[in-house]
Structure 1
Amino acid sequence: MTKVTRYIFMILGTLSFVLAIAMFPAVLKQSAFDGSLRFHWSEGWTSLARYLEGIANGDSFRYLAGQKELPFFRQIGSSFLLSLIYLATGAAVGLTMGIALGIHFALSRAKGLRRLLDVTGVLPDFVIVLLLQFAIVLLSSATGLLLVQVASITADRPAVALPILSTIIVPSGYMIRNVALHMSQTLTEDYIKAAKARGLKKRYLIFFHALPNVLPFIKADANKFLAILFGNLFIFEYLFNLNGVTAFLFSNAYTTFKLYQYNLVVNGILALLLLYAILFALVRALLFGWEKVFAHE
Structure 2
Amino acid sequence: MKTVNLLIRFVFSIAGIVLISGLPELVKGLLAGELQLKGYAASIQSVLSNIWPVQDFAVFNIRTQRDILLFPTIAEYISYSLQILFLAFAAAVFFAMLFTVATMLLLEPARERIKSVLYILESVPDLLVIMLAQLGVILIYQQTDVLISKIAVVGGDRIYWLPILCLMLLPAIQLYRLSMLTFQEEERQMYVELARALGFSKAFIVLVHMFRNAVISVFFQSKKTLWFMLSNLFVLELMFNMPGIMLFMKDNISPEVFLVAVFSFFVPMFLVYSLGEWFFLRHYRGKEVG
Normalising by the residue count of structure 2, what TM-score does the alignment of the two structures yield? 0.81
Q: CA deviation at 1:237?
A: 1.2
Matched to 1:125, the amino acid is D
Task: Tell me which residue corresponds to 2:134.
Answer: 133
Which aligned segments of 4 or more residues in structure 1 are displaced greater than 6 angstroms? 285-290, 294-297
Are the counterparts in 2 of residues 62 and 264 from structure 1 also a CA contact under 8 Å?
no
Choose from 69, 73, 76 the match for 1:75. 73
1:227 aligns with 2:227: yes
Which residue of structure 2 aligns with residue 18 of structure 1?
17
Q: 1:16 to 1:205 in 2, by over 3 A?
A: closer
Please name the residue that 1:54 is paired with. Answer: 50
Change in 2 beyond 3 A, CA 1:6/1:186: closer
Q: Distance in 2 between matches of 1:125 and 1:85?
A: 19
CA contact (8 A) 1:103 1:179 kept: no
**Do 2:55 and 2:71's aligned partners in 1 also have CA atoms closer than 8 Å?**
no
Length, aligned pairs only: 282
Q: CA deviation at 1:264?
A: 2.1
Task: Name 2:264's counterpart in structure 1.
Answer: 271
CA shift for structure 1 position 246: 1.5
Q: Secondary structure at the match of 2:71?
A: helix
Matched position secondary structure for 1:157: coil
Aligned ranges for residues 25-104 of structure 1 at < 5 Å? Answer: 25-29=24-28, 37-38=31-32, 41=36, 43-54=39-50, 58=54, 61-65=57-61, 66-104=64-102
Partner residue of 1:241?
241
* CA RMSD across the alignment: 3.3
Measure, in 1, the Cα distance between the counterparts of 2:222 and 2:194: 31
Q: Please report how far the alpha carbon of residue 100 of structure 1 lies from its aligned counterpart in structure 2 after TM superposition.
A: 1.5
Deviation of 1:157 after TM superposition, in Å, equals 1.5
Alignment of 1:71-220 (within 5 A): 71-109=69-107, 110=110, 113-154=114-155, 156-220=156-220
Evaluate the alpha carbon distance shift between residue 55 and residue 276 of structure 1 in structure 2; reply closer, same or farther with a 3 A threshold. Answer: same
3-state DSSP class of the match of 1:152? coil
More deviation in 46-55 or 101-110? 46-55
Conserved? CA contact 2:47–2:256, under 8 Å: yes
Matched-pair contact (CA < 8 Å) for 1:27–1:39: no
Write the distance in 2 (CA, Å) between the matches of 1:160 and 1:16: 34
Please give the secondary structure, in 1, of the residue aligned with 2:214.
Answer: helix
Assess if the C-alpha contact under 8 Å between 1:129 and 1:166 holds in 2.
Answer: yes
Q: Any unmatched runs of 5+ in structure 2? A: none
Structure-2 separation of matches of 1:67 and 1:104: 54
Give the AA of the match of 1:208.
Answer: V
Amino acid at match of 1:190: M
Shift of 1:252: 0.5
Contact in 2 for aligned 1:54/1:60 (Cα 8 Å) = no
Distance change >3 Å, CA 153–CA 287, structure 1 → 2: farther
Residues 235 and 278 of structure 1: CA distance in aligned 2, closer, same or farther (over 3 Å): farther
Which shifted more, 43-52 or 171-180?
A: 43-52
Give the conservation status (yes or no) of the 8 Å contact 1:208–1:295. no
Q: What is the alpha-carbon distance in structure 2 between the residues aligned to residue 245 and residue 99 of structure 1? A: 29
Cross-structure match for 1:262: 255
Unaligned runs of at least 5 residues, structure 1: 31-35, 254-260
